[in-house]
Amino acid sequence: MLLHRVRGCFFLFEAVVVLFQIPPSLKHLKIHLSSRHCQTSESSLSEATFVNLSSPTCLSRTTAAPGAMADPWQRAYDFAVEVARKAGAEIRKAGESEIRVMTKSSTVDLVTKTDERVEKIIIDSLKEEFGNDTYGFIGEESVAKGIPCILTDKPTWIIDPVDGTTNFVHGFPFVAVSIAFAVKKRLEFGVVYSCLEDKMYKARRGKGAFCDDERIQVSDVKDIHKSIIISEHGTDRSPEKVTKIFSTMQRILCIPVHGLRGSGTAATNMCLVACGAVEAFFEIGIHCWDIAAGAVIVTEAGGMLLDVDGGPFDLMSRRMVSANNEVIANRIIKEIEIFPAERDDAVIKK
Ligand code: IPD
């Protein structure tokens, strides 16, 4: 049933939410838009660009000399793509049968048996391929069950098996598998499989970002008035926070910008920044597993990440602005009304 709705609808909120059916022509438009930013294929790259972490969880982009050392994590990267595809197939299959919904932190923070099963499939596959001991794992559902969310120097997989669980439950056609890999707290690669659209976004540090093997790049728009911005409502329904979220959205909309959007999955939102479909995505309340893979994809596509207060991006802080460039990022930051969100690693900091 879910699959029948895949070709479907688009989420637009400008105070109200409007659903559109995407006509076949729009599908071609999307393809055209991605190819507008498509420069070369993965195999024809000659120059490497690096994503560095100047602080443990902060990303920046520099250019490396040609012939720089080969990426030692190639096998892990290739395997992550394979596993994401397998997980996505599992999600599509599950969407055709009855979906059992449970809740986590609140009545709107949903989880399904599929989230749990798919996370197990991903982690078991990675352990089987690479062994049990060498790697750390941060998985959304494992953390929900009480496993601490600790990013150490150990090579660590950061996994969101079903990003966009609410979409999945409702048949809203954007759901992604997100797998990132960090070594010494530096993100090495990220894979986001938008499994209902069947689009595979991926990026390795220093090697560019790709969608289905075509290189992608952020938009070059610097004028905020010509931008589309993405944000989300998140899963916290306390009136004070919701008021700040809507107030921020109103302020940004009235700059004015061309539009506000939200796909319902943070990972996909970041890929939309990376391929130039929108200029920026920001949110307070997201988790590291929602954005780790997207963080590599955005920066490798030429974009940037900042904290919502304009400081350096921090993967564990649960707040982020990802944008095509600094001008757009800083203009949005001026309008964001910040509210507190407990860090992902808060438990170990206490
Ligand atoms: C959610 C999605 C959503 C974002 C929430 C996330 P989940 O992830 O990414 O877009 O607004 O903050 O929690 O729970 O579907 O994996």
pLDDT in tens, the chain (350 residues): 444 444 443 333 333 333 333 333 333 333 333 333 333 444 333 222 233 333 333 344 444 444 445 668 999 999 999 999 999 999 999 988 877 788 888 888 888 899 999 999 999 999 999 987 889 999 999 999 999 999 999 999 999 999 999 999 999 999 999 999 999 999 999 999 999 999 999 999 999 999 999 999 999 999 999 999 999 999 899 999 999 999 999 999 999 999 999 999 999 999 999 999 999 999 999 999 999 999 999 999 999 999 999 999 999 999 999 999 999 999 999 999 999 999 999 965 54
Q: Is the CB of 163 under 6 A from ligand 1?
A: yes
pTM of the model: 0.83
Tell me the CA–centroid distance for residue 207 and ligand 1, in Å: 27
Instruction: Report the pLDDT value the prediction gives residue 69, as an integer from 0 to 100.
Output: 57
Cα–Cα nearest to 113, from 158, 171, 161, 157? 161
Measured distance CA(61)–CA(108) in Å, rounded: 36
Residue 51's pLDDT is 35
Please tell me the predicted confidence (pLDDT) of residue 208: 98
CB of 262 shorter than 6 A to ligand 1: no
232 lines ligand 1 (CB under 6 A): yes
Ligand 1, atom nearest to 111 Cα = 14
Q: Which atom of ligand 1 is nearest to the CA of 162?
A: 16
- Any atom of ligand 1 within 6 Å of the Cβ of 265: yes
Cβ(210)–Cβ(216) below 8 Å? yes
Tell me the CA–centroid distance for residue 284 and ligand 1, in Å.
11
Tell the burial category of 330 from Cβ atoms under 10 Å away from its Cβ (0-12, 13-18, 19+).
middle
Q: How far apart are the first and last CA of the chain?
A: 45
Cα(209)–Cα(228) distance, rounded to whole angstroms? Answer: 21
Nearest CA to ligand 1 atom 15: 164
Which atom of ligand 1 lies at the shortest distance from residue 269's CA?
10
Residue entry with tokens 């749990």:
116
User: What is the distance in A from the centroid of ligand 1 to the CA of 267?
Assistant: 8
Atom in ligand 1 nearest the alpha carbon of residue 109: 14
Q: For ligand 1, atom 3, name the residue with the nearest CA.
A: 265
**What pLDDT score does 114 carry?**
94
- pLDDT digit string (tens) for 227-280? 999 999 998 999 999 999 999 999 999 999 999 999 999 999 999 999 999 999
Closest protein CA for atom 16 of ligand 1: 163
User: Pocket of ligand 1, candidates 163, 249, 289: which has the most ligand atoms within 8 Å of its Cβ, to mutate?
Assistant: 163
Report the separation in Å between the CA atom of 188 and the middle of ligand 1, taken as the mean of its atom positions: 23
Q: What is the rounded distance in angstroms from the CA atom of residue 68 to the CA atom of residue 119? A: 35
164 C-beta closer than 6 A to ligand 1 = yes
Instruction: Specify the ligand 1 atom closest to the Cα of 168.
Output: 15
Query: Residue 185 in contact with residue 69, Cβ under 8 Å?
Result: no
3-class DSSP state of 350: coil
Question: Is any ligand 1 atom within 6 A of the Cβ of residue 294?
Answer: no
| CA 112–ligand 1 middle distance (angstroms) | 13
Cα of 178 vs centre of ligand 1, distance in Å, is: 11
